[in-house]
Structure 1
Amino acid sequence: MNTSELSSVLGRLAAGARRFAATDARERAELARRTALATVAVAAPWAEAAVAIKRAVPGSGSALAEELATGPMGTARLCLLTARAQLDIAERGLPRAPSAPRILHAGRRSVGGTPPALVGLELLPALGPSGSLHDGMIHQGFAATVRCHDPGGLANFEQAWQREVEERPRDGGVAVVLGAGNVTGLSAADVLSQVFEHGRGVLLKLHPLHAPLRPHLESALGPLVEAGLLAIVEGGADVAQAALAAAETTHVHVTGGEATFRAIVWGSADSGDRTASPRLSKPITCELGNVTPWFILPGRYSRAELAHQADLVAASIANNTSFNCIATKGIVTCRSWPQRADFLALVERRLASLPARPGWYPGAVRDWEGATGRVAPADGTLPCSLFTGVDTKTDDRLLAREWFVPVVAEVPLDADDLAGFCGRALAFSHRLPGSLAASVTIPTGLSAVDARHAEDFVDHLAFGVVAVNTWSALAYALGNVPWGGFPGATLAAPKSGIGFVHDPLLLPLVHNSVIRAPLWSPIRPPWFPWHSAGARLTRGVVDLYGRCAEGKSGLGTLLAMLPAVLRG
């Protein structure tokens, strides 16, 4: 694409953004609904192309389940949530949350320092444009709370929310979105956020790995292309640089690594002096990854609880060959916890039972060898590797950077009780690179004092998402949990990123979010790599969202999945 062609494309996108600014909320809801339908229509070829990119065995149920879930399923859900929010805006001026905003921590005494004053909104169960998305059944027992800074009471919060709804979608202009190469649904979600949350036209530059996806993404997001709000291009760094430098570009969004961010903003991927003016003169938002911890609070767990949590941890390592920004990289335990050895044995046993998957991401084989100190298998696969008893005071290489490979370190902390562990674990979390997401396993049956220590620990973790008793990836999958690094990042110190995506409710003053799940469930999640019917279930949820986009209940589709759910 030469300069003239690029300028013409960007000009059409700017015109599309101006037309979009003149539409009302009902028209925007209809555009989002039609995009959901288009996404569902190409779900199968999209997922199959993604499986091929990742060199998985054709017909692999676990790989297909992953690609359906993180690609078309998540995209369709975000479209439906966006449509519902826009309809609510048309009807009442504000999006509707499942519960009214409330002040958090009012009058609560803390044993670990005073929690910040926050406003909380519950995000489950969510609604689509025609009603229920059946979250009560699909996500039974789960809760998701977004926590926003308190501007001085609920009335002030409502006013701030109203301003956000009225002003943010008027940002306008053209955003260049530089797509990630690890998960195929990330670029689609970034596009939806830029269009519906900011009113921008979008030039999506695909990661080279995702070039085969272009026709499927153009079909899935076809209504946006037809509206002049989206153009998808391929190419290397030269295409990206030209798009960033173009006069028509008013915003940049990047999902990728910090080195890429530094190269864009400062002109170099190294970590040199940041006192000079940045090379990039345009506003930028980004999501840059994380060294993701999973904290296991000491206590007494039943055998079933221990096994379920071990399976969750193992799946969070193995999913997508660990090429996820929130793949678990550190398991943080209490050295004196009596069940520590049993828990680690369960994790190791589950990981050992999984076939090694190809190291398809660029540089993965080299990084796996660098992290493990071993020679990778000759067939190019990367076994999941767990290193236990790691002392980061003497060797911090496994947690000093984000290794984009299936390698995880277990770090035991010395503590005499739960309170001591929480204090040490919180201090440890501050030393980890990144602030995107963390998971915490909390036992039941705690004393009142220990339960308060556990809640204080959750409250004070400085991550964009804190997941209790589940993998933080669920927050991304839900679609209405704002997704991004913990507030406070800057161009000089971007941490896990600047700004949020996945905010169809257009919430103001977002601090972070907490999601919660049962400690144990008889239902095995379909994203477990060893699930016997994962592909069937994820395909069923995609079909369910298609029915909801058509204005139908989808209940029959849901009930048809029950046998596969129960088999696990």
Structure 2
Amino acid sequence: MSTSMKTLSDDSPSLDTLVQELRLGEQTWATLSLSARRDLLTTLSEALQRHAGEWVEVACAIKRLDPGSQLAGEEWISGPYALLGGIGALSATLAALDAGRSPLDGYPLSPAPGGRVAARVLPHNVFDRLLLNGYTAHVWSEPGRTADGLRKAAGLGQRTPEKTGGVGLVLGAGNIFSIAPLDTLYELFAHNRVVLLKLNPITDPMLPVLSKVFAGFIDLGLVRIVTGGVEFGSAAVAHRGIDHVHITGSVTSHDAIVFGPGEEGRARQARGEVLLDKPITSELGGVSPTIVVPGKWSKRDLSYQAEHIATQKLHNNGYNCIASQVLVVSSDWPQKEDFLKALRKAFAEAAPRPAYYPGSGERCAAAVKDHPGIARQFAGGARVLLEEIPAGDDIAFRQEYFAPVLAVTGLPGQGRDFLERATAFANERLSGTLGANVVAHPRTMRGLGADFTRFIADLRYGTVAVNAWTGVGYLTARATWGAFPGHTLQDAQSGIGIVHNGLLLGGTERTVVSGPFRPFPRSVLTGRFTLSPRPPWFVTHRTAAATGRLLTAFAGRPSWARLPGIFASALRG
């Protein structure tokens, strides 16, 4: 490997130098106690709080958003807020281990379907119960695990901190700016690997602020953050000093790393000939469904859930690995047309935003071209609804658009019959297994009883969200995030392995999130009382920027005194 390889500019350290520095840093990492590692996390949190405003300004500049607009709330919540939550969860896990306890001590554990164990990770404390009232998240184990086994294994690499895992390469994402930092922390703490983080070129302007935030880790040689294009990324993957690769991106990028690019790479993949000489984990997105269970809804329910599904698609303009791409409705639902009318209205009225991610316009145009007669265009063609695609074979079911394109398909039946058809469609027809959303009236869920529970258990997705967006699972630091287990290098789909997982649990299968069907105060009429207003991540939330900034400040320094301002801002939204 040539030592002349540069990261960005002529005076940047060579790749060889970076790896050598990290090798020395690995020796330092092996000597650090759990208490010293907690101190590093505290330093990281404090630096992030100081530079959170700068982070959001740079993020808005990259995405061409007005920092004062409601859309800037997405950058506060999916950026510094999400990272602060991850830091706090890891710090608490280290404190438990340092005190000789399991990180799972104090968390409610209960049986889950199919011989699984469920750990409730949200709400975690009284602040969760207030700020996310009505939301829950449970991490499900793999079948056959026991509660005692989960407790004893929790902690992963931090149970033996002196046994380091070498140098890991993290290939960062270009869409949500907390992904790469959170992946870096997971490599450090779950696997005891020091990290070379290569930013996605879209996020290169984040380098200065991330360098300030991670200064404590950088100074000790535990982390190096670099920029560069495909050539540098390829050289880093192939470097003999890199022991492991983690990528957040597309399955196409993953396959090029594992088998090589172009026709030769595809031929190797077909033969099962792996070119990569080191292990790789990945989070690769996919075609995420939102399944609407038919029931009797009010007009306000139709409008609110249309906003909810518009958010699942249009948050970050659709450039999310778990952006909903296929809306599954019952063709026998009497309110189907009313609901689709409300959805069109939500698509039309959502705040306009630039298409910052490369190729977005071309992918929208291709979706329209591939679906003549059923494509509805909004915002001058910048948003697309495909109505209604037959539930057979369609490119919208096989290929992630990574753009503001939502396909609608109808399946016959109601009740248990519909659930069975929806399960088979989602599991067998759609590419990927990262996340699935379910929307159902609480009365309908109660009526279905065990059939609804079985339906959730049968969905083969890494995060399943009921009356919530799977993005809530991403924001829940103690939840797991990643594809449903079982994918292979030849057929990676949504990836291999998990991240986040602030409790450092082993043997997990999925996270199940639940939220309120209606916001406060209408929630009292569903039989499931919640104080939660319209969530600040909704694209229709008018005070999302202010609420996101307040939530970020709270995540850094939780305080009762900060709560009234958050509630007041959220309710005005």
TM-score (norm 1): 0.91
1:72 paired to 2:74: no
Counterpart of 1:484 in structure 2 is 482
Residues 328, 411 of structure 2: 8 Å contact kept: yes
CA distance in 2, matches of 1:538, 1:447: 32
**2: distance between equivalents of 1:359 and 1:455?**
39
The secondary structure found in structure 2 opposite 1:459 is: helix
Deviation at 1:194, TM superposition (A): 0.8
CA distance in 1, matches of 2:219, 2:204: 20
| Per-residue deviation, 1:92 | 2.9
Contact kept in structure 1, 2:285 and 2:322, CA below 8 Å: yes
1:331–1:411 contact (8 Å) kept in structure 2: yes
Correspondence for 2:100 among 67, 92, 97? 92
Contact 1:51 / 1:67 at 8 angstroms: preserved in 2? yes
Structure 1 residue 382, shift from structure 2 partner: 5.4
- 2:4 aligned residue (2, 5, 14): 2
Structure 2 residue aligned with 1:418, among 415, 419, 423?
A: 415
CA separation of 1:427/1:285 partners in 2, compared to 1, >3 Å: closer, same or farther?
same
Which residue of the other structure, out of 333, 340, 343, is the alignment partner of 1:344? Answer: 340
Mapped contact 1:70–1:477 kept (Cα < 8 A): yes
Deviation at 1:2, TM superposition (A): 2.2
If the length of structure 2 is used for normalisation, what is the TM-score? 0.90
What is the CA deviation profile of residues 240-270 of structure 1, one whole-angstrom value per residue up to 9, with x for unaligned ones?
1111122211010000001100110000256
Moved more, 490-499 or 18-27: 18-27
**Alignment of 1:51 onto 2:60:** yes
1:506 equivalent to 2:504? Answer yes
Q: CA deviation at 1:168?
A: 8.3
Q: Secondary structure at the match of 2:464?
A: strand
Unaligned stretches of 5+ in structure 2?
A: 6-12, 521-532
Residues 24-173 of structure 1: pairs in structure 2 closer than 5 A: 24-56=33-65, 58-96=66-104, 99-105=107-113, 116-126=114-124, 134-151=127-144, 153-161=146-154, 166-167=159-160, 170-173=163-166
Q: Secondary structure of 2:395's partner?
A: coil
Cα displacement (A) at 1:174: 0.6
Cα contact 2:169–2:237 (8 A) shared by 1 = yes
Q: Does residue 1:235 correspond to 2:236, yes or no? A: no
- Measure, in 2, the Cα distance between the counterparts of 1:251 and 1:428: 35
Distance 1:524 1:465 in 2: 22
Count of residue pairs brought into register by the alignment: 545
Residues 414-472 of structure 1 show CA distances to partners (whole Å, capped at 9, x for unaligned) of: 11x21110111111012100000000012222386622211111111000000000110
> Do the aligned partners of residues 457 and 543 (structure 1) sit closer, same or farther apart at CA in structure 2, a change above 3 Å counting?
same
Aligned ranges for residues 97-496 of structure 1 at < 5 Å?
Answer: 99-105=107-113, 116-126=114-124, 134-151=127-144, 153-161=146-154, 166-167=159-160, 170-269=163-262, 271-272=266-267, 273-373=269-369, 383-393=382-392, 396-415=394-413, 417-430=414-427, 431-446=429-444, 450-496=448-494
| Distance in 2 (alpha carbons) for counterparts of 1:340 and 1:352 | 18
Instruction: Please tell me the residue identity of whatever aligns with 1:28.
Output: R
1:507-549 Cα deviation digits (max 9, x unpaired): 111111100011111211111222221111110011112224x
Residue pair 1:262, 1:269 contacting (<8 A) in 2 also: no
Name the CA shift for 1:448/1:83 in 2 (closer, same or farther; >3 Å).
closer
Displacement of 1:316 = 1.2
- On the 8 A contact 1:206/1:233 being kept in 2, the answer is yes
Say if 1:76 and 1:531 are closer, same or farther in 2 by CA, change over 3 A.
Answer: same
Match of 1:564 in 2: 569
AA at the equivalent of 1:69: I
* Higher mean C-alpha deviation, range 215-224 or range 510-519: 215-224
Moved more, 226-235 or 285-294: 226-235
Q: CA RMSD in A?
A: 2.4
Determine if contact 1:81/1:126 at 8 Å carries over to the other structure.
no
Give the conservation status (yes or no) of the 8 Å contact 1:171–1:199.
Answer: yes
Contact 1:484 1:498 in 2 (8 A): yes
Distance 1:15 1:101, change over 3 A: farther
SS at match of 2:438: strand
Cα pair 1:419 1:450 within 8 Å, conserved: yes
In percent, how many aligned pairs have the same letter? 31
**Which residue does the alignment assign to 2:30?**
21
In structure 1, the gaps of 5 or more residues are 106-115, 549-553
Q: Secondary structure at the match of 1:471?
A: coil
Hey, what's the Cα distance between the residues in 1 that align with 2:456 and 2:174?
31
- The answer to whether the 8 A contact 1:164-1:507 is kept is no
Give a deviation string over 1:319-373, Cα, whole Å, max 9, x none.
1110111111011000011111111111110110124322211111111110122
2:516 is aligned with 1:521: no
Structure 1 pair 7/122, CA: closer, same or farther in 2 (3 Å)?
same
Residue by residue over 1:163-197, the C-alpha shift from the partner in whole angstroms, topping out at 9 and shown as x without a partner, is 76525884421111111111111111111111121
Partner of 2:168: helix, strand, or coil?
Answer: strand
Does the Cα contact within 8 Å between 1:21 and 1:172 map onto a contact in 2?
no
